[in-house]
Amino acid sequence: MSGSFLSDKFINHTKRELADMIDIFGADIPVRLKKADMAVAISDYIKKEPDRWLSFMFERDLRLVRMLLDLDPGKSVHLDYPDYESVLEFYGLVESDVTDENFRKLWLSEEVRGIVSGHVDKALENGVAEGRFAFERVAIGFLNLYGVMTFNEFMDCMIDYSRSINDSDYARLLASLKKSPLLKICRFSDYVSSPCASDPLDILKGRKRFKRVKKPAKFKIEDAVEAGKDAPYFVYGADTVKGKAVIDMLSDLGYPETAIRKEMHDIWINSQTAIDTESAQDLFISVIRKENIISGPGRYDFCLRIVADYANSLPKWLLKGRSPDNSDYMKIILQAETDADIPDDMIPFPVFSPDSDAIPENMPHWHLPDPVFSDGYPDLPIVEVSSESVLSGLQFGMAVRHVAPDDPCPCGSGLKYKFCHGRHLS
């Protein structure tokens, strides 16, 4: 195969993106080359040294390629949209069709299939044997738990991990970080953010509202491992009582096992930004989309409470990893008290037994009472979501704030906006 296929694909990227690709893929190519020459040099490197550049890839990218290789040539697979795009998708080595708003279609071209066949399994084996994947899961796990960390805080966590595996060779730790694409994608200024965080700067600004949250939460290495595995659908607390209750509920609602993890992931990520009506509805979307098969308002309410209880137990990025249950901030409350016990500015969400089918007259509206996020956003109005709108379906809109070209892309890729989704705009 000639280099023209890949070079023609790479030439569609900006020169800055190609320079980033050289760094991420571990290539020894001068960045001072002209863009066209750089694209040809990268395509030659991709062809000639698959073992080398595959060794720099995330575990997630390698397992994606392995799955696509298992398909017959010319076949594709439909997958959900993740919070962030894989490296190989972004640079076109994994082909994608994103014209469907619900699923993206992925496949390998004949040329790329020929390049990586026989090399991916070796890269996967080496990643496990060298401990690189374990290192990667812990690193991403800490970022997922905290949302945004200073680089020094992140390094402290990784040094603790090195000590936990009886490895005090910090030079090797730094070498592992240098080889991983993690910092190249997730670092900005003096901070490192979760790849799932769409706007790390908003997290830093939002934390100023929670002045009494001084210190970050403490997590064990085991917590980071749990929060960083099975990319891109990270889940935390699945083995807790509240997590198991959500899994059982989703199973009862008909979600297949393969979809339950993504729903759990979405609850965690949506709970990070549940500060208004629309975002609160997003938190409960796994229940809302199944409303037609839920037997009655009692069962509906029961499902919502299970989701809220789980969300309140999860680490929040605005709270530096602390949960609402442990901090009394950002707590989502579905009231069960009588009207006499509720302040005048609160109207409780209707409460029924799980098996109740009767809808009482004058069914009250659902209010997430003020303060929904105790003391966190005192200037926000009461979040009101009527039971009628919840039970009858939702209409969603999207407001897109201005993003400066050099700001991190809101998709969470870790790349600058002008190198990511901003490149599609004039």
On whether residue 362 sits in a domain, the answer given is yes
Which residue is listed with tokens 């070796």? 122
* Residue of 314 and 369 predicted with greater confidence: 314
Looking at the fold, whether 263 and 332 belong to one and the same domain comes out as yes
Looking at the fold, whether 175 and 202 belong to one and the same domain comes out as yes
Looking at the fold, whether 318 and 202 belong to one and the same domain comes out as no
On whether residue 98 sits in a domain, the answer given is no
Beta bridge partners of 366: 385
Last residue of a domain, one of 228, 263, 290: 228
State pTM to two decimals: 0.76
Which candidate, 337, 308, 330, places its Cα nearest to that of 249? Answer: 308
Looking at the fold, whether 268 and 312 belong to one and the same domain comes out as yes
Looking at the fold, whether 198 and 281 belong to one and the same domain comes out as no
Lowest mean pLDDT among 280-294, 309-323, 350-364: 350-364
Looking at the fold, whether 298 and 157 belong to one and the same domain comes out as no
Lateral strand order in the sheet of 187-188: 148-150, 191-193, 187-188
Q: Under a CB-based contact definition with an 8 Å cutoff, are residues 78 and 41 in contact?
A: no
Q: Under a CB-based contact definition with an 8 Å cutoff, are residues 6 and 47 in contact?
A: yes
On whether residue 361 sits in a domain, the answer given is yes
On whether residue 368 sits in a domain, the answer given is yes
Q: Report the distance separating Cα 419 and Cα 348, nearest Å.
A: 46
Q: pLDDT averaged over the chain? A: 81
Looking at the fold, whether 305 and 218 belong to one and the same domain comes out as no
pLDDT band at 423 (very low <50, low <70, confident <90, very high): low
**Structure tokens, 168:** 């005090």
Q: What total of structural domains would you count in the chain?
A: 3
Q: Report the distance separating Cα 231 and Cα 10, nearest Å.
A: 26
Q: Under a CB-based contact definition with an 8 Å cutoff, are residues 115 and 46 in contact?
A: yes
On whether residue 75 sits in a domain, the answer given is no
Looking at the fold, whether 200 and 313 belong to one and the same domain comes out as no
On whether residue 111 sits in a domain, the answer given is no
On whether residue 424 sits in a domain, the answer given is no
pLDDT band at 176 (very low <50, low <70, confident <90, very high): confident
Residue 102: CB atoms within 10 Å: 7
SS3 (DSSP) at 298: helix
User: What tens digit of pLDDT does each residue of 90-140 get?
Assistant: 999 999 999 998 889 999 999 999 999 999 999 999 999 988 899 999 999
pLDDT at 201 over 50: yes
Q: Under a CB-based contact definition with an 8 Å cutoff, are residues 114 and 1 in contact?
A: yes
**Structure tokens, 255:** 């979600």
User: What tens digit of pLDDT does each residue of 235-257 get?
Assistant: 999 999 999 999 999 999 999 99
Looking at the fold, whether 215 and 267 belong to one and the same domain comes out as no
Identity of residue 125:
E
Looking at the fold, whether 375 and 314 belong to one and the same domain comes out as yes
Looking at the fold, whether 322 and 288 belong to one and the same domain comes out as yes
**Average pLDDT value for residue range 67-72:** 95
Residue 398 confidence (pLDDT): 31
On whether residue 364 sits in a domain, the answer given is yes
Looking at the fold, whether 265 and 327 belong to one and the same domain comes out as yes
pLDDT at 216 over 70: yes
User: Angle at Cα 286 formed by Cα 280 and Cα 289, nearest 5°?
Assistant: 100
Residue ranges making up the domain that contains 28: 1-48
